Amino acid sequence: MSQIKCIGILTSGGDAPGMNAAIRAVTRAAIYNGFEVKGIYRGYKGLITGEIAPFKTQNVSNIIQQGGTILKTARCQEFKTAEGRKIAYDTLVKEGIDALVVIGGDGTLTGARIFATEYNFPIVGLPGTIDNDLFGTDTTIGYDTALNTIMEAVDKIRDTATSHERLFFIEVMGRDAGFLALNGAIATGAEAAIIPEISTEVDQLEELIKNGFRKSKNSSIVLVAESPITGGAMHLAERVQKEYPQYDVRVTILGHIQRGGSPTAHDRILASRMGAAAIDALLEDQRNVMIGIRNNEIEYIPFNKAIKNDKPIDRELLNTLRKLSI
Ligand code: ADP
């Protein structure tokens, strides 16, 4: 067994609903196993500025249902430099923190991997991002909530789209991943999803136009993943409007509402299981791994694998969307 006594916890990068449930789970599972816990504020920035406080079970009471993160989050350029990471290490030593649990996306885990290697420091990561773009886990914390928010918003847009017989391009988040757009499209009965994973292969808009945007329907909804590869909803709408002035085209960019809100049951349970598993991993002397859940089983995924491997889009989902939107 390792000599860990005190575990530090932080949330970093883009926030995601369910991060609070994860903070609660890590804190409570750590205390249950006899560890001390310290909360680090504003991601890696807190390790530079020393914004750190002891965490007891009461610090995480009544937060499982809250969106956002009570530990706050930030982007920290300094942590990307060797000098910044040295300050972070000195802070950890001063605070008596011997292991870290970090919750965040690709960037957060990249920072964790570099720091863990540089200082031989035990770190366990939890995948916290609405984008679902981390390899080694079926879903990430926050993804299901964001997907449900998209579904509710698109349902509302569908009402007005149908009344006016309009074609809507709705932009959703996802950075360079199409999971939100593709599954959002299936869940809302949208006509298509334009996603970066496919944009590199074919001109999806061209295909849609060729298929006639399904003239038999009185509204059309296309979900677009926000990405330089797809060009974004605005760009695609302008293209269509120019070539087909007869279409009544509109654009909605869902934006930050996708990040907020109370986490779904799925995200709360996922975050709770992953948080408890992070402490199990440390007890088993695991380090530099991300907790994943695949086929309902907890797995330890080395940081390298989680970050570097692309998480492929399931072709079956694409085919389902095509079949159902005729
Ligand atoms: P996310 O975790 O949501 O992908 P970011 O990409 O903004 O968000 O990363 C969050 C933070 O992780 C950054 O602000 C930085 O502090 C740290 N980080 C990201 N990439 C690196 C890197 N290459 N080296 C060190 N730290 C990094």
Q: Residue 35 pLDDT more than 60?
A: yes
Q: Residue 306 pLDDT more than 80?
A: yes
- Bridge partners for 98 per DSSP: none
Q: Ligand 1: distance of its center to the CA of 55 in Å?
A: 24
Q: Ligand 1: distance of its center to the CA of 220 in Å?
A: 38
Rounded distance between C-alpha atoms, residue 21 and residue 267, angstroms:
8
pLDDT-derived band of residue 235, with 50, 70 and 90 as boundaries? very high
The residue that leads in pLDDT, 213 or 303, is 303
Q: Is the CB of 46 under 6 A from ligand 1?
A: no
Please give the pLDDT value at position 208: 77
Q: Calculate what percentage of the chain has a pLDDT beyond 70.
A: 96
The residue that leads in pLDDT, 165 or 289, is 289
The residues carrying an active-site annotation are 131
Structural domains of the chain, with CATH: 6-142+263-308 (3.40.50.450), 145-259 (3.40.50.460)
Least reliable range by pLDDT among 93-107, 211-225, 226-240, 292-306: 211-225
Probe residue for ligand 1, chosen from 80, 118, 119, 134 as the CB with the greatest number of ligand atoms within 8 Å: 80
Please give the pLDDT value at position 217: 65
Chain Cα centroid distance, residue 207? 29
Is the Cβ–Cβ distance between 229 and 176 less than 8 Å? yes
Report the SS3 class of residue 117: helix
Q: Residue 1 pLDDT more than 60?
A: no
pLDDT-derived band of residue 213, with 50, 70 and 90 as boundaries? low
123: Cβ contacts below 8 Å, ≥ 6 apart: 99, 100, 101, 102, 112, 115, 116, 287, 288
Q: Residue 135 pLDDT more than 90?
A: yes
Q: Residue 202 pLDDT more than 80?
A: no
Q: Is the CB of 114 under 6 A from ligand 1?
A: yes
Of ligand 1's listed atoms, the one at least distance from the Cα of 106 is 4
pLDDT-derived band of residue 214, with 50, 70 and 90 as boundaries? low
Is the Cβ–Cβ distance between 13 and 107 less than 8 Å? yes
Burial degree of 216 (CB within 10 A; 0-12, 13-18, 19+): exposed
Spatial CA neighbour of 133 closest among 99, 153, 101, 108: 108
Report DSSP state, residue 313.
P
pTM above 0.75, yes or no: yes
Q: Residue 41 pLDDT more than 90?
A: yes
The residue that leads in pLDDT, 294 or 210, is 294
